Structure 1
Amino acid sequence: MVEQRLTDGRRIAQFLASEVTGHGDALAALSVTDADPDTDPTPDGAFAYGIDRDDDRVASVFVQPDRARVEFEHAVDVAVDAAREEGLRVRPKAVEPPQTLVFVEDGAQVKRVLSVLRSVVAA
Protein backbone atom coordinates (compact mmCIF):
# COMPACT_ATOMS: atom_id res chain seq x y z
CA MET A 1 0.00 0.00 0.00
CA VAL A 2 1.32 3.44 -0.91
CA GLU A 3 1.18 6.00 1.86
CA GLN A 4 0.42 9.50 0.57
CA ARG A 5 0.90 12.61 2.64
CA LEU A 6 -0.04 16.14 1.74
CA THR A 7 3.07 18.18 2.55
CA ASP A 8 2.87 21.02 0.02
CA GLY A 9 2.34 24.30 1.89
CA ARG A 10 0.03 25.82 -0.72
CA ARG A 11 -2.15 22.70 -0.90
CA ILE A 12 -2.33 22.47 2.91
CA ALA A 13 -3.47 26.12 3.05
CA GLN A 14 -6.07 25.49 0.34
CA PHE A 15 -7.36 22.46 2.22
CA LEU A 16 -7.59 24.48 5.44
CA ALA A 17 -9.51 27.26 3.66
CA SER A 18 -12.02 24.79 2.23
CA GLU A 19 -12.50 23.19 5.64
CA VAL A 20 -13.03 26.54 7.38
CA THR A 21 -15.68 27.61 4.87
CA GLY A 22 -17.32 24.19 4.66
CA HIS A 23 -18.35 23.73 8.29
CA GLY A 24 -21.64 24.77 9.81
CA ASP A 25 -20.70 24.49 13.47
CA ALA A 26 -18.77 27.12 15.45
CA LEU A 27 -16.66 27.71 12.34
CA ALA A 28 -19.69 29.09 10.48
CA ALA A 29 -18.92 32.47 12.03
CA LEU A 30 -15.54 32.51 10.26
CA SER A 31 -14.74 33.56 6.73
CA VAL A 32 -11.68 33.37 4.53
CA THR A 33 -10.73 36.88 3.39
CA ASP A 34 -8.08 38.64 1.33
CA ALA A 35 -7.21 35.35 -0.36
CA ASP A 36 -4.45 35.38 -2.95
CA PRO A 37 -4.76 32.15 -4.96
CA ASP A 38 -1.50 32.91 -6.78
CA THR A 39 0.62 33.13 -3.64
CA ASP A 40 3.94 31.42 -4.12
CA PRO A 41 5.35 29.73 -1.03
CA THR A 42 8.52 31.27 0.40
CA PRO A 43 10.89 29.97 3.08
CA ASP A 44 9.72 32.72 5.48
CA GLY A 45 6.07 32.25 4.55
CA ALA A 46 3.97 34.24 2.09
CA PHE A 47 0.57 35.59 3.12
CA ALA A 48 -2.18 33.41 1.63
CA TYR A 49 -5.37 34.63 3.36
CA GLY A 50 -6.96 35.83 6.55
CA ILE A 51 -9.53 34.11 8.71
CA ASP A 52 -11.99 36.70 10.00
CA ARG A 53 -14.97 36.80 12.30
CA ASP A 54 -17.33 39.76 11.84
CA ASP A 55 -14.66 41.73 9.91
CA ASP A 56 -12.17 41.14 12.74
CA ARG A 57 -9.01 39.16 11.94
CA VAL A 58 -8.75 35.99 14.02
CA ALA A 59 -5.75 34.49 12.21
CA SER A 60 -3.61 34.81 9.10
CA VAL A 61 -2.37 31.89 7.02
CA PHE A 62 1.06 31.86 5.40
CA VAL A 63 2.49 29.30 2.97
CA GLN A 64 5.96 27.87 3.03
CA PRO A 65 7.23 25.23 0.60
CA ASP A 66 6.63 22.31 2.96
CA ARG A 67 3.97 23.59 5.36
CA ALA A 68 1.41 26.24 6.20
CA ARG A 69 1.62 28.51 9.22
CA VAL A 70 -1.39 29.93 11.03
CA GLU A 71 -0.76 33.09 13.03
CA PHE A 72 -3.49 33.54 15.63
CA GLU A 73 -4.14 37.14 16.62
CA HIS A 74 -7.00 36.62 19.13
CA ALA A 75 -7.19 34.42 22.21
CA VAL A 76 -3.50 33.64 21.74
CA ASP A 77 -3.18 31.79 25.07
CA VAL A 78 -6.18 29.65 24.18
CA ALA A 79 -4.58 28.91 20.80
CA VAL A 80 -1.32 27.80 22.48
CA ASP A 81 -3.11 25.41 24.83
CA ALA A 82 -5.46 24.03 22.18
CA ALA A 83 -2.65 23.48 19.66
CA ARG A 84 -0.53 21.68 22.24
CA GLU A 85 -3.49 19.47 23.17
CA GLU A 86 -3.88 18.61 19.49
CA GLY A 87 -0.20 17.71 19.19
CA LEU A 88 0.60 20.54 16.80
CA ARG A 89 3.88 22.40 16.76
CA VAL A 90 3.19 25.79 18.30
CA ARG A 91 5.24 28.84 19.20
CA PRO A 92 4.14 32.02 20.95
CA LYS A 93 5.38 35.11 19.10
CA ALA A 94 6.57 37.98 21.28
CA VAL A 95 5.27 40.92 19.28
CA GLU A 96 2.80 43.63 20.14
CA PRO A 97 0.02 42.57 20.12
CA PRO A 98 1.09 38.99 20.90
CA GLN A 99 0.46 36.20 18.41
CA THR A 100 0.58 32.42 18.41
CA LEU A 101 2.12 30.52 15.50
CA VAL A 102 0.77 27.06 14.69
CA PHE A 103 2.60 25.01 12.07
CA VAL A 104 0.62 22.68 9.81
CA GLU A 105 3.11 20.27 8.29
CA ASP A 106 0.73 17.69 6.88
CA GLY A 107 -2.75 17.76 5.42
CA ALA A 108 -3.90 15.39 8.17
CA GLN A 109 -3.16 18.11 10.72
CA VAL A 110 -5.77 20.43 9.19
CA LYS A 111 -8.55 18.78 11.22
CA ARG A 112 -6.56 19.51 14.38
CA VAL A 113 -6.21 23.16 13.41
CA LEU A 114 -9.98 23.32 13.04
CA SER A 115 -10.23 22.24 16.66
CA VAL A 116 -7.87 25.07 17.62
CA LEU A 117 -10.02 27.53 15.65
CA ARG A 118 -13.13 26.29 17.47
CA SER A 119 -11.44 26.88 20.82
CA VAL A 120 -10.38 30.39 19.79
CA VAL A 121 -13.88 31.24 18.53
CA ALA A 122 -15.40 29.99 21.79
CA ALA A 123 -13.00 32.08 23.91
Structure 2
Amino acid sequence: MVEDRLSHGKRIAQLLASEVTGHERSLSSLSVTDSDPDVEPTDDGAFAYAIEHDGEQVAEVFVQPDRARVEFVTEMATVADVAEQEGLRVRPKAVKPARTLVFVENGAQVKWLLPALRVVATE
Protein backbone atom coordinates (compact mmCIF):
# COMPACT_ATOMS: atom_id res chain seq x y z
CA MET A 1 0.00 0.00 0.00
CA VAL A 2 1.31 3.44 -0.90
CA GLU A 3 1.21 6.14 1.75
CA ASP A 4 -0.72 9.22 0.59
CA ARG A 5 1.33 11.74 2.55
CA LEU A 6 4.96 12.05 3.49
CA SER A 7 4.83 12.20 7.28
CA HIS A 8 8.30 11.16 8.42
CA GLY A 9 10.17 13.98 10.13
CA LYS A 10 13.56 13.34 8.56
CA ARG A 11 12.14 13.14 5.02
CA ILE A 12 10.11 16.31 5.59
CA ALA A 13 13.28 18.11 6.72
CA GLN A 14 15.16 16.82 3.66
CA LEU A 15 12.39 18.10 1.40
CA LEU A 16 12.53 21.48 3.15
CA ALA A 17 16.31 21.66 2.70
CA SER A 18 15.81 20.97 -1.01
CA GLU A 19 13.37 23.88 -1.24
CA VAL A 20 15.79 26.21 0.57
CA THR A 21 18.73 25.26 -1.62
CA GLY A 22 16.66 24.89 -4.78
CA HIS A 23 16.25 27.34 -7.56
CA GLU A 24 13.51 29.59 -6.22
CA ARG A 25 14.86 33.08 -6.71
CA SER A 26 13.11 34.55 -3.66
CA LEU A 27 14.98 32.12 -1.38
CA SER A 28 18.40 32.52 -3.01
CA SER A 29 19.80 34.44 -0.03
CA LEU A 30 19.10 31.47 2.27
CA SER A 31 21.44 28.55 2.85
CA VAL A 32 21.42 25.31 4.81
CA THR A 33 24.32 25.06 7.27
CA ASP A 34 25.56 22.76 10.02
CA SER A 35 23.57 19.86 8.57
CA ASP A 36 23.66 16.43 10.15
CA PRO A 37 22.92 13.93 7.34
CA ASP A 38 22.82 11.07 9.86
CA VAL A 39 20.29 12.70 12.19
CA GLU A 40 17.66 10.38 13.59
CA PRO A 41 14.30 11.74 14.76
CA THR A 42 13.62 11.91 18.49
CA ASP A 43 10.42 12.68 20.38
CA ASP A 44 11.85 16.02 21.54
CA GLY A 45 13.30 16.80 18.12
CA ALA A 46 16.87 16.23 16.97
CA PHE A 47 18.80 19.09 15.36
CA ALA A 48 18.99 18.53 11.59
CA TYR A 49 20.38 21.83 10.25
CA ALA A 50 20.32 25.61 10.48
CA ILE A 51 19.06 28.07 7.89
CA GLU A 52 21.07 31.24 7.34
CA HIS A 53 20.35 34.47 5.54
CA ASP A 54 23.52 36.15 4.25
CA GLY A 55 25.58 34.41 6.96
CA GLU A 56 23.20 35.12 9.87
CA GLN A 57 21.21 32.27 11.38
CA VAL A 58 17.45 32.79 10.96
CA ALA A 59 16.10 29.34 11.86
CA GLU A 60 16.93 25.84 13.06
CA VAL A 61 15.22 22.67 11.86
CA PHE A 62 14.58 19.72 14.17
CA VAL A 63 13.20 16.30 13.28
CA GLN A 64 10.66 14.34 15.23
CA PRO A 65 9.29 10.94 14.20
CA ASP A 66 6.20 12.36 12.49
CA ARG A 67 7.11 15.98 11.65
CA ALA A 68 9.77 18.64 11.32
CA ARG A 69 9.88 21.67 13.60
CA VAL A 70 11.33 24.94 12.37
CA GLU A 71 12.43 27.36 15.08
CA PHE A 72 12.69 30.90 13.74
CA VAL A 73 14.97 33.29 15.61
CA THR A 74 14.24 36.42 13.59
CA GLU A 75 11.12 38.19 12.27
CA MET A 76 9.17 35.99 14.70
CA ALA A 77 5.86 37.89 14.78
CA THR A 78 5.68 38.24 11.01
CA VAL A 79 6.70 34.61 10.49
CA ALA A 80 4.00 33.49 12.93
CA ASP A 81 1.32 35.51 11.13
CA VAL A 82 2.34 34.29 7.68
CA ALA A 83 2.66 30.64 8.74
CA GLU A 84 -0.74 30.70 10.46
CA GLN A 85 -2.33 32.22 7.35
CA GLU A 86 -0.92 29.29 5.37
CA GLY A 87 -2.56 26.83 7.78
CA LEU A 88 0.52 25.74 9.72
CA ARG A 89 0.55 25.16 13.47
CA VAL A 90 2.59 27.87 15.19
CA ARG A 91 3.51 28.65 18.78
CA PRO A 92 5.97 30.87 20.60
CA LYS A 93 8.85 29.36 22.55
CA ALA A 94 9.56 31.16 25.80
CA VAL A 95 13.34 31.05 25.87
CA LYS A 96 15.99 33.76 25.74
CA PRO A 97 16.16 34.82 23.00
CA ALA A 98 12.56 34.01 22.09
CA ARG A 99 11.68 31.82 19.11
CA THR A 100 8.67 31.08 16.95
CA LEU A 101 8.03 27.38 16.33
CA VAL A 102 6.39 26.26 13.10
CA PHE A 103 5.39 22.61 12.76
CA VAL A 104 5.54 20.95 9.33
CA GLU A 105 3.59 17.72 9.62
CA ASN A 106 3.70 16.38 6.08
CA GLY A 107 5.52 16.90 2.81
CA ALA A 108 2.78 19.08 1.29
CA GLN A 109 3.11 21.55 4.15
CA VAL A 110 6.71 22.27 3.13
CA LYS A 111 5.27 24.43 0.35
CA TRP A 112 3.06 26.17 2.92
CA LEU A 113 6.22 27.17 4.81
CA LEU A 114 7.77 28.96 1.82
CA PRO A 115 6.01 32.30 2.45
CA ALA A 116 7.45 32.34 5.99
CA LEU A 117 10.91 31.60 4.60
CA ARG A 118 10.50 34.46 2.14
CA VAL A 119 9.95 36.77 5.15
CA VAL A 120 13.38 35.94 6.60
CA ALA A 121 15.00 35.90 3.16
CA THR A 122 14.10 39.53 2.59
CA GLU A 123 14.75 40.96 6.07
Q: Report runs of 4+ in structure 1 exceeding 6 Å deviation.
A: none
1:3 offset after TM fit, Å? 5.9
- Residue deviations 1:30-63 (CA, integer Å, cap 9, x gap): 0000000100100000000000012110100000
TM-score by length of 1: 0.94
Q: Is the 8 A contact 1:78 1:120 kept in 2?
A: no
Cα RMSD between the aligned structures? 1.4
Q: Is the 8 A contact 2:47 2:60 kept in 1?
A: yes
1:120 offset after TM fit, Å? 2.6
Q: Is the 8 A contact 2:53 2:120 kept in 1?
A: no
Letter in structure 2 aligned against 1:67? R
Gaps of 5+ in 2: none
Identity, % of aligned positions: 64
Aligned to 2:112: 112
1:24 and 2:24 aligned: yes
Aligned to 1:70: 70
| Aligned residue pairs, count | 123
Report the more deviating stretch, 67-76 or 89-98.
Answer: 89-98
Paired residue secondary structure (1:18): helix
TM-score by length of 2: 0.94
Q: Within 1, Cα distance between the matches of 2:40 and 2:109?
A: 21
